[in-house]
C-alpha cells in the first residue's frame, strides 16, 4: 500500500486534496499535516512515498519541505499543489529543489495531480539514464512555460494532428522532459499519463547529436528491447524532433510513433523538425502573451494605488 502525505495549513483544502486522491485510489493511505514541522514529524515516523504540499506554510515553504523530505528519503516524490503562482515562487529555492508543480486553479488540476502522485510514488531510480550537460538550465527554461494552459494545449494539439497525418502514423505527441518524468503535453491517437524518465525514448533523444532521432524498431535497440512501458503503449517505431528554445536548450520533443517497425525518410525528418520549430514558436508566443498580461495588470494596479493615494490626500475624486 502506498502512502501519501498531504500538507496544507487550510484544513478544508487539506481534506479536499486527500479526498481527491482517495477517489482516484481508494486503497491509498493518506496522511495529513498542517505545517512544515508536523510534516517532518510524519516523515520521520512513517514510510511515505510521496508528499503533496501547498507552497505557503506557517513555518516555511513547500520547497523547504521537499528538501527536508529528501534528506529523510532521497527518492521520495514531491508535488507542489498550490494556489501560489509559479512566478511568485522563490527562485533560489526552485533552483535547489526541483519539484513537480500543479496550480490548484489549472484546468484538469485534479487529474494532473493524481497522475504525478501515481508515478512519483511508484517510481524508484534503478537504471541510470543520460543527462544533458545543461540539465539545470534546461529544467529552468521548461519551468518558465505554462504548459498546463488549456489554450496552449489546444494550439499544440493541431501540430500533433499534422505530424500524424503527414507521417501516416497512428500516434503523435508533444513531450516535456522534466527532472524525473516525461509529461505528455498533448497526444494524438492516445491518452497517455506521465512516465518515469528512464522509460522514455526521448530521454535518450535529447542527448543525441542532431535534432531528429529515429528508431526504426525499438525491439532491435538494446536500450529499449525489454521496455514494458513501450510495449504497453504499442510503440514499435519512433521518430522524435527536439523542442529547442531560442537559447539552445532542449525542453522536450515532438514525436510520432507506429505500432510496427518502419523507416522514416529524409523528408519525414525535415517535416517533423519544422513542426518542432513551430511548436517552440507557439510556446514562446503564449509565454509572451502571459507576460504582457502580467505587466498590464501590474500597471493597472500601480495606477489604482496612485489614484487612491491622491484621493486620500484630498485630491480630486
**What is the average pLDDT across 105-121?**
84
146 & 120 share domain: no
* CATH, residue 252: 3.30.450.40
Residue 313 lies in a domain: no
Give residue 301's pLDDT: 63
* Domains identified in the chain, total number: 2
Give residue 161's pLDDT: 97
Give residue 96's pLDDT: 46
* CATH, residue 18: 3.40.50.2300
Give residue 124's pLDDT: 46
Q: Are 77 and 51 in contact (CB under 8 A)?
A: yes
220 & 256 share domain: yes
Give residue 304's pLDDT: 64
Q: Is 70 exposed, middle or buried (CB count within 10 Å of its CB: 0-12, 13-18, 19+)?
A: middle
pLDDT at 216 over 70: yes
pLDDT at 127 over 50: no
C-alpha cell belonging to residue 226 = 525489454
Give residue 121's pLDDT: 72
What is the torsion angle, in degrees rounded to the nearest 10, for the CA atoms of residue 134, residue 119, residue 212 and residue 228?
Answer: 130
**What is the average pLDDT across 210-233?**
93
Give residue 125's pLDDT: 45
Q: Which of 100-104, 139-143, 162-166, 293-297 has the lowest mean pLDDT?
A: 293-297
Residue 305 lies in a domain: no
Query: In which band, very low, low, confident or very high, does the pLDDT at 163 lie, cut at 50, 70 and 90?
Result: very high
Residue 272 lies in a domain: yes
Q: How much is the mean pLDDT over the chain?
A: 87
Residue 73 lies in a domain: yes
Residue 298 lies in a domain: no
More confident residue, 275 or 92: 275
112 & 182 share domain: no
Residue 317 lies in a domain: no
- 216-220 long-range Cβ contacts below 8 angstroms, 24+ apart: 216/261, 216/262, 216/263, 216/264, 217/261, 219/261, 220/261
pLDDT in tens, 258-284: 999 999 999 999 999 999 999 999 999
45 & 157 share domain: no
pLDDT at 190 over 80: yes
Residue 300 lies in a domain: no
Q: What percent of the chain has pLDDT over 70?
A: 88
Which of 86-90, 163-167, 298-302 is modeled with the greatest confidence? 163-167
pLDDT in tens, 24-76: 888 899 999 999 999 999 998 888 889 999 999 999 999 999 888 877 776 78
Query: In which band, very low, low, confident or very high, does the pLDDT at 315 lie, cut at 50, 70 and 90?
Result: low
Give residue 281's pLDDT: 96
- The domain of 274 spans 142-289
Amino acid at each position: 500500500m502506498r502512502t501519501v502525505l498531504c500538507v496544507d495549513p487550510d484544513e478544508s483544502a487539506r481534506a479536499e486534496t486527500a479526498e481527491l486522491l482517495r477517489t482516484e485510489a481508494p486503497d491509498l493511505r493518506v496522511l495529513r499535516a498542517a505545517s512544515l514541522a508536523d510534516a517532518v514529524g510524519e516523515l520521520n515516523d512513517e514510510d511515505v512515498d510521496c508528499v503533496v504540499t501547498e507552497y505557503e506554510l506557517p513555518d516555511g515553504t513547500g520547497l523547504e519541505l521537499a528538501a527536508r523530505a529528501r534528506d529523510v528519503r532521497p527518492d521520495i516524490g514531491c508535488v507542489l499543489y498550490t494556489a501560489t503562482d509559479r512566478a511568485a515562487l522563490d527562485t533560489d529555492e526552485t533552483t535547489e529543489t526541483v519539484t513537480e508543480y500543479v496550480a490548484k486553479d489549472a484546468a484538469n488540476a485534479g487529474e494532473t495531480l493524481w497522475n504525478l502522485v501515481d508515478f512519483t510514488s511508484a517510481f524508484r531510480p534503478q537504471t541510470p539514464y543520460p543527462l544533458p550537460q545543461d540539465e539545470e538550465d534546461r529544467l529552468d527554461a521548461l519551468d518558465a512555460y505554462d504548459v498546463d494552459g488549456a489554450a496552449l494545449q489546444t494550439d499544440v494539439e493541431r501540430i500533433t494532428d499534422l505530424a500524424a497525418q503527414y507521417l501516416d502514423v497512428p500516434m503523435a505527441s508533444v513531450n516535456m522532459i522534466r527532472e524525473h518524468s516525461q509529461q505528455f503535453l498533448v497526444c494524438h491517437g492516445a491518452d497517455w499519463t506521465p512516465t518515469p524518465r528512464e522509460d522514455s525514448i526521448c530521454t535518450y533523444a535529447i542527448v543525441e547529436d542532431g535534432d531528429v532521432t529515429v528508431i526504426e524498431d525499438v525491439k532491435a535497440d538494446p536500450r529499449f528491447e525489454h521496455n514494458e512501458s513501450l510495449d504497453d503503449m504499442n510503440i514499435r517505431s519512433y521518430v522524435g524532433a527536439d523542442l529547442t528554445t531560442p537559447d539552445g536548450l532542449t525542453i522536450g520533443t515532438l514525436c510520432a510513433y507506429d505500432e510496427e517497425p518502419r523507416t522514416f525518410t529524409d523528408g519525414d525528418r525535415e517535416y517533423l523538425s519544422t513542426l518542432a520549430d513551430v511548436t517552440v514558436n507557439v510556446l514562446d508566443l503564449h509565454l509572451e502573451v502571459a507576460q504582457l498580461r502580467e505587466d498590464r495588470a501590474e500597471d493597472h494596479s500601480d495606477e489604482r494605488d496612485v489614484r487612491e493615494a491622491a484621493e486620500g490626500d484630498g485630491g480630486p475624486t
